[in-house]
């Protein structure tokens, strides 16, 4: 992957229970339509997921997750020029998605499963390594850190180095906004993004429509959080984020184009 500025990754949750858009793209035709709209709006990557990782979410069986994501991935890789990411922590799902044409693996568990590293390395697939304290069912039950930035940074660098040493061609890191973090933790992560970019790895931030934004902006659920999401991600761009993961691609691409023009020399 190669680009300049802050790229936009569009979220395509092929699930009935994701926190913001559960069920909206569950039907294949609806997912296809949304994907084409995101591409037309300027998405650099489309991130396809078949298992919700919202707080309290229950795991999905491997077979179900594969059944959810494969038809959309096959459509995208055969009918479009989209760069496709598979959002999964399961080696079997990643392998099936990569065989269907997906290009990138996005793992919210931080590539801790050696079998997933093997799958990515064998396919020559770049990976996105995210930090999460705990797991989705419990991650928001009183998350705490002795040294927030140091702990997350050490984890991400260690996992990235291990992945590269075992044949993964390239890595992006994600500090995990909203994954086992309080509102204060999330704000600190974004303010301190330069500490992650100084590692030399490109940094992704995914704060789109998260509950922290709803509380800070005093707004409701779903797309009412989009203005807050844009504000967050513009700030992240200014702090060095290489990519932002978003629900509303159109709004983010437009905002980032103006932001980039204003900052051009």
Question: Among all residues, which ones are annotated catalytic?
Answer: 210, 245
- CA dist., res. 15 & res. 220, Å (int): 21
CA 160 – CA 244 distance, rounded (Å): 19
- CA torsion through residues 256, 258, 261, 262, sign: negative
Please answer whether residues 108 and 151 qualify as being in contact, where contact means their C-beta atoms are separated by less than 8 angstroms: no
Most distant pair of Cα atoms in the chain: their distance:
51
Do residues 252 and 246 touch, judged by C-beta distance below 8 A?
yes
Select from 98, 80, 145, 211 the least CA-distant residue to 106.
Answer: 98
Residue 53, CA distances (Å) to 16, 89, 171, 227 in order: 12, 10, 21, 23
């Amino acid at each position: 992957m190669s680009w300049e500025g802050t790229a936009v990754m569009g979220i395509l949750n092929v699930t009935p229970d994701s926190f913001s858009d559960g069920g909206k793209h569950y039907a294949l035709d609806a997912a296809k339509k949304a994907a084409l709209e995101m591409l037309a709006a300027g998405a650099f990557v489309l991130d396809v997921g078949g298992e919700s990782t919202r707080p309290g979410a229950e795991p999905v069986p491997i077979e179900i997750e594969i059944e959810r994501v494969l038809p959309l991935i096959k459509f995208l890789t055969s009918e479009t020029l989209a760069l496709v990411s598979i959002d999964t922590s399961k080696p079997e799902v990643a392998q099936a998605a990569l065989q269907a044409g997906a290009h990138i693996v996005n793992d919210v568990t931080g590539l801790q499963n050696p079998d997933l590293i093997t799958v990515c390395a064998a396919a020559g697939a770049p990976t996105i390594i995210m930090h999460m304290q705990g797991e989705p069912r419990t991650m928001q039950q009183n998350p705490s850190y002795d040294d927030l930035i140091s702990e997350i940074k050490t984890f991400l660098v260690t996992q990235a180095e291990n992945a590269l040493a075992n044949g993964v061609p390239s890595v992006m890191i994600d500090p995990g906004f909203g994954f086992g973090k309080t509102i204060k933790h999330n704000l600190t992560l974004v303010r301190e993004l330069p500490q992650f970019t100084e590692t030399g790895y490109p940094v992704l931030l995914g704060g789109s429509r998260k509950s922290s934004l709803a509380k800070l902006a005093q707004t409701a659920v779903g797309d009412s959080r989009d203005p807050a999401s844009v504000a967050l991600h513009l700030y992240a761009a200014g702090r060095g984020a290489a990519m932002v993961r978003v629900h509303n691609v159109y709004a983010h691409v437009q905002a980032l184009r103006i932001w980039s023009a204003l900052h051009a020399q």
